[in-house]
Amino acid sequence: MRVDKKRFIYLISPNKIKKSFYTNLKIVLSSNLVSFFQLRLKKYSLIEREKIGIKIKKICKEYNVKLIVNDDPNLAKKIGADGCHLGQNDVNIQRARKILGKKTIGITCHNSKKLIRHAVEDGANYIAIGAFFKSKTKKVNYIAEPSLISWAKRFTKLPLVIIGGITNKNFRKLLLHKPDFLAISGGIWGEKPTRVIEEFYENKRK
């Protein structure tokens, strides 16, 4: 899994797909800051997620962004996504690997060194840890300290994605710990996406 330091954003879909979403997605991806887009739609049917996923896949391909499907390796395979992201209560990595083969599989490890160790042993392609801030997108059950980023970077060479309440106002302090990617959802979609992505770009340069 190649890491492009210029493309430090791991973008997660909003909870609801509005008519303006696809236009805004193209603008956000054109910033050249996004490496991954995760399709995470908990309240949509499988048929709806498939239709939306196919549209997003075309846009991601246009901007050379990898498409990751949350929770569902079968859907990831069906729409030809680049991989799948798993939570601790989803199917395990071994089962997902049988479905997806060599495609990218990432897993959430919350704030746990134990879960990070297991993810490495099980063959994950990347590890996600957090939350580092309170989030408007989902309920925060685990709070991670920045020191965990440094520990994880020493423990494994796997790409590290940090999650939880990250915005254009607080992300720079996390970059000091040199994670590979920042997972952002509400920090972009909860505001005006076109304006916020410009602020991420400008703040990254400072």
The answer to whether position 2 is within a domain reads no
DSSP for 51-83?
A: HHHHHHHHHHHHTT-EEEEES-HHHHHHHT-SE
The answer to whether position 4 is within a domain reads no
Number of H helices, E strands in the chain: 9, 8
Among candidate residues 72, 69, 43, the one with its CA nearest the CA of residue 56: 69
* pLDDT for residue 206 is more than 70: no
Per the structure, how many domains does the chain have? 1
| Per-residue pLDDT tens over the stretch 6-35 | 899 999 999 999 989 999 999 999 999 999
The answer to whether position 60 is within a domain reads yes
| Per-residue pLDDT tens over the stretch 119-167 | 999 999 999 999 998 877 777 778 899 999 999 999 999 999 999 999 8
The answer to whether position 110 is within a domain reads yes
Element containing residue 184 per DSSP (H, E): strand 181-184
Among candidate residues 154, 150, 198, 195, the one with its CA nearest the CA of residue 175: 150
The answer to whether position 1 is within a domain reads no
| Per-residue pLDDT tens over the stretch 62-97 | 999 999 999 999 999 999 999 999 999 889 999 999
* pLDDT for residue 200 is more than 90: no
d(CA 39, CA 70): 6
Q: Do 62 and 85 form a contact (C-beta atoms < 8 A)?
A: no
pTM, rounded to two decimals: 0.93
CA separation (Å) from 192 to 27, 47, 56, 189, 199? 11, 29, 19, 7, 11
> Where in the sequence is the domain holding 169, given as residue range(s)?
9-205
CATH no. for residue 146?
3.20.20.70
